[in-house]
Amino acid sequence: MSISVGILGATGYTGSELVRILYNHPDVTITYCSSRQYNGNKISEILSFLRGYLDIYLEEFDPEKVRQRCDLVFSCLPHGLSMDFVPRVLDNTRVVDLSADYRLKDVSIYKSWYKEHSSPRLIENAVYGLCEVYREEITGARLVANPGCYPTSVLLPLIPLLKAKLIDPRGIIVDSKSGASGAGRGLSLKTHICEAGESFSAYSVGRKHRHIPEIEQELSIASGEDINIEFIPHLVPISRGILSTIYVRALNTRKVLVDGLKSFYEGSAFVQVLDDDMPATKDVRGTNRCLVGIEVNPITGRAIIVSVIDNLVKGASGQAVQNMNIMFGLDETQGLDYIPLFP
């Protein structure tokens, strides 16, 4: 089988990561790459590391070309833009949308965190693409809303524990740390190497980060009750990697929690629950894996859950390809089974 795929917004970090992953995917041909800013250039002129790998020209976004050339399109457009473009290709081309535009089921919540939604009727049929949780729904989906990077790191450990009533749904605190590629390729003093390097900081402190409603929506579904979380993101002076430290009241022993999580992820190649260790972001760099470690503090009764992902792979482009694999009936790990780059 060869799936013809397009990438909208191919020169940002999630777009170029899709190119990297798809280059070695045995069932995929890249037939279309769009870029507003660099339209007309070869992609390797803009992303020098692609010299000699992919010589495709960047084109303007043209829904007709997408419909004609692509079985599936990955939209790496910013939120707000994606919801304008997706409806124009969806009749003919399946979509994995890496923006936030179709993640939130409640359009009024979308509006309060982002803006007025321009294609609200599509939301209902969009599937939230957290592969290990919504695998069946993804199989038949035409439009998959690829999860955010922070949410992926938080939801993978928490959803099974909430479903199995092993942790208290109230009072969840998430302290997340992300590498700088999560902020994208746009220019800012915040990601200037002289200002982000050799420093560490929190940002969006309070109820401010747009991944909060996404996390709360999915945790509420899993637990069956309305959940409000504390979520504080931090910037780590590295390129790739998210580590989330999650604090929650344990309703059972560490062993039961670990076993519950392992049992949920049996047969899921990308989520690994550690027996007696805590993961580091380097353990997943460049891979589609999520590693989870759990401790329970006997004095406080609290579970401390540490999860790591590569924000550009399992947190974005890798999970997008995993979604494509599921949508097209391929082995879920096709093109995604790599050992991390270490050191």
d(C-alpha 327, C-alpha 138), whole Å: 6
Give 93 or 317: the residue with its C-beta nearer to a second copy: 317
Residue placing its CB nearer to a second copy in the complex, 40 or 203: 203
CB of 149 to a second copy, least distance (A): 14
Q: Which residues contact 8 (CB under 8 A, 6 or more apart)?
A: 15, 34, 61, 66, 73, 74, 75, 76, 77, 82, 85
Q: Which residue from 204, 214, 259 is spatially nearest to 235, judged by alpha carbons?
A: 204
| Strands 173-178 and 242-249, bridge-based pairing | antiparallel
DSSP state of 147: P
Q: Extract the tokens encoding 12.
A: 């940002």
Catalytic residues: 149
The CB-of-138 to a second copy minimum distance in angstroms stands at 23
Give CA separation, 82 vs 76, 103, 112, 128, 288, in Å: 8, 12, 18, 15, 24
**Total number of residues shown for the chain:** 343
Q: Indicate the residue among 68 and 232 with the shorter CB distance to a second copy.
A: 232
By beta-carbon proximity to a second copy, the closer residue of 40 and 197 is 197
DSSP notation for 46-107: HSGGGTTT--PBPB---HHHHHHH-SEEEE-PPTTTHHHHGGGTTTTSEEEE-SSTTT-S-H
Instruction: Calculate the dihedral angle through the C-alpha atoms of 107, 313, 257, 173, rounding to the nearest 10 degrees.
Output: -50
As a whole number of Å, the CA-based R_g of the chain is 19
**Distance from C-alpha of 166 to C-alpha of 12, rounded to nearest angstrom:** 39
Tell me how far, at minimum, the Cβ of 228 lies from a second copy, in Å: 5
CB of 213 to a second copy, least distance (A): 12
Q: How far is the CB of 49 from a second copy (least distance, A)?
A: 4
Strand, coil or helix: 45 = helix
Token pair of 137 as six digits: 């729904």
Shorter beta-carbon distance to a second copy: residue 97 or 310? 310
Q: Which is nearer to a second copy, 140 or 189 (CB)?
A: 189
